[in-house]
Chains A and B, each alone.
Chain A
């Protein structure tokens, strides 16, 4: 990817010295939104649907399809909302932070396009509280955009009006779930809501609401600038466009790269320089803590939604976590489950009680006090907390590394039980 237009996200991205409004505009910024203003909201929706853009928050749902459920036209409700989900708290995920610190105007332009497409008049950025530098830079960029007439009443002489506000949260993983996020924005305890009604029809303050991930929104300006066909041509695989991929763990050079959708995982490992000296890769989570383990033999899989799903996992956020041979897989799974147990909102019983139970059992096994029955109970718990048994996707997400870890690292679990201790600590 030598042509800068092939890297629509990172071409505007500079974390050390982010582009201000004039620098952003002089490199083609706000052209996508200007193009959007010249066509109808429905046409913008159509372009985004044609581009085959899929949500980058983890679920991979078609963005255009999501928008299509919003009531449009004269009979639509007076107010509609757009919310940017920037509550990035998935362990091992740090891509939205990079985008917001490095290219705040890219996100604002993306939000303008999305808000125009669904006819929203108010938009919020729901930012996690820990990202203070993002907050400072976004505040600055929002002020610049208001002053230049990109936000506010009658944007650039058109009848379109949008107010954009930054909401900083105070740290809770469940706020990333879209209906919990809506409750949080309304000043309620952030527990998920029952669906239906879906937020597209009855969302924030009971009004039609779209919640899109930060990276998803950042993809919109280039789609509107270069067209949906161009966007689909960025990749050779089934998914369109470019994606921020990354990797963390004991690799030589952990980091983030913008690559075509469907880049093989091995290439991402190579960009990171491979594992640190003396370490071998034992397994990897393809897209954050809530995805199933994959093995070294899966490294040639393209990092796209269908291919990773066929291998039994999920692409999730596309940020890989690498497990090396010096760390205990049971210990890693325990750490992941501790996270989910702590961050469970407590609303439904399988999640509230099941996750601490799993942590208790894993702690026992890791410390050498586990037995065969514990393994059976863990298997049962994976069933109790699976999709359809819980109110939202948090507990099933926690089950993914647990069930796949028990499958791929069965020998490690057995060693803990047989030798009454963790082999990595002896």
Chain B
């Protein structure tokens, strides 16, 4: 038998819409409004809005999601369908730094596995996890378009190419390590 959801819970869920002015900062609101003006409809700015808020808050919390949906006059479920669709929108908290390691074919042919193992072992995390000091999140990524300079990764939006063990060590050092006890 399917589970019956009590009517009170349904109401509570429906009421989780928030007034976006209470959640988003003025600069976020201004930046999102700027994007809205570029399209024929407000929901068209959804992916821009998610990226604007994520740039400020590092990830998209439920509260942020409801606020953006409110601001763009769209349902929170429709926005959730978009937020979870893209590789670069985080619906969970991430570390101070996010490493996206390319795992597609040209990197695979150029020692992807060695680089991946070294990152996992050094940081002591699996893909999808954050070091316990909250410094570094390690994620896989599809082809980053650095195929002639493989292997490659993206650190906080910046592409870093021609990776080897030494350059990874140097990179991690510059980020202050990342400890996972």
On whether the beta carbons of B51 and A190 are closer than 8 Å, the reply is no
A129 to chain B, nearest CB (A): 5
On whether the beta carbons of A332 and B105 are closer than 8 Å, the reply is yes
- With a CB–CB cut-off of 8 A, which chain A residues contact B18? none
Q: For the complex, give the distance between the alpha carbons of A406 and B39 in Å.
A: 46
Q: For the complex, give the distance between the alpha carbons of A130 and B104 in Å.
A: 14
On whether the beta carbons of B105 and A186 are closer than 8 Å, the reply is no
- Select from chain A the residue with minimum beta-carbon distance to B38: A165
Partner-contacting stretch, out of B129-137, B154-162, B165-173:
B154-162
A133 to chain B, nearest CB (A): 8
The answer to whether B44 has its CB under 8 Å from any CB of chain A is yes
Q: Chain A, 327-368, contact with B by CB distance < 8 Å: what is the 0/1 string?
A: 100011001101100110100000000000000000000000
On whether the beta carbons of B88 and A189 are closer than 8 Å, the reply is no
- With a CB–CB cut-off of 8 A, which chain B residues contact A184? 47
A166 to chain B, nearest CB (A): 9
Q: Chain A, 236-252, contact with B by CB distance < 8 Å: what is the 0/1 string?
A: 00000000001111100
The answer to whether B143 has its CB under 8 Å from any CB of chain A is yes
B34 to chain A, nearest CB (A): 11
Partner-contacting stretch, out of A68-76, A106-114, A316-324:
A316-324
On whether the beta carbons of A130 and B144 are closer than 8 Å, the reply is yes
On whether the beta carbons of A171 and B41 are closer than 8 Å, the reply is no
A286 to chain B, nearest CB (A): 14
On whether the beta carbons of A91 and B43 are closer than 8 Å, the reply is no
Chain B interface size band reads: 35 or more
The answer to whether A30 has its CB under 8 Å from any CB of chain B is no
- Select from chain B the residue with minimum beta-carbon distance to A175: B86
On whether the beta carbons of B108 and A335 are closer than 8 Å, the reply is yes
Partner-contacting stretch, out of B4-12, B118-126, B145-153:
B145-153
The answer to whether B29 has its CB under 8 Å from any CB of chain A is no
The answer to whether A304 has its CB under 8 Å from any CB of chain B is no
The answer to whether A156 has its CB under 8 Å from any CB of chain B is no
On whether the beta carbons of A342 and B142 are closer than 8 Å, the reply is yes
Q: For the complex, give the distance between the alpha carbons of A339 and B141 in Å.
A: 10
Chain A interface size band reads: 35 or more
- With a CB–CB cut-off of 8 A, which chain A residues contact B144? 130
The answer to whether A225 has its CB under 8 Å from any CB of chain B is no
On whether the beta carbons of B51 and A168 are closer than 8 Å, the reply is yes
- With a CB–CB cut-off of 8 A, which chain B residues contact A342? 142
The answer to whether A256 has its CB under 8 Å from any CB of chain B is yes
Q: Chain A, 76-113, contact with B by CB distance < 8 Å: what is the 0/1 string?
A: 00000000000011111110010000000000000000
**B142's contact among A89, A131, A187, A321, by CB below 8 Å, is which?**
A89
On whether the beta carbons of A289 and B104 are closer than 8 Å, the reply is yes
Are A205 and B110 CB-contacts (below 8 A) given A88-B145, A94-B147, A170-B87? no
The answer to whether B109 has its CB under 8 Å from any CB of chain A is yes
On whether the beta carbons of A187 and B109 are closer than 8 Å, the reply is no
The answer to whether A169 has its CB under 8 Å from any CB of chain B is yes
Q: Which residues of B contact A (CB under 8 A)?
A: 38-48, 50-51, 72, 74, 78, 81-82, 85-89, 100, 103-106, 108-110, 141-150, 154, 157-159
The contact sample of 6 A-B pairs, CB cut-off 8 A, is A88-B145, A167-B38, A172-B86, A184-B47, A205-B40, A327-B109
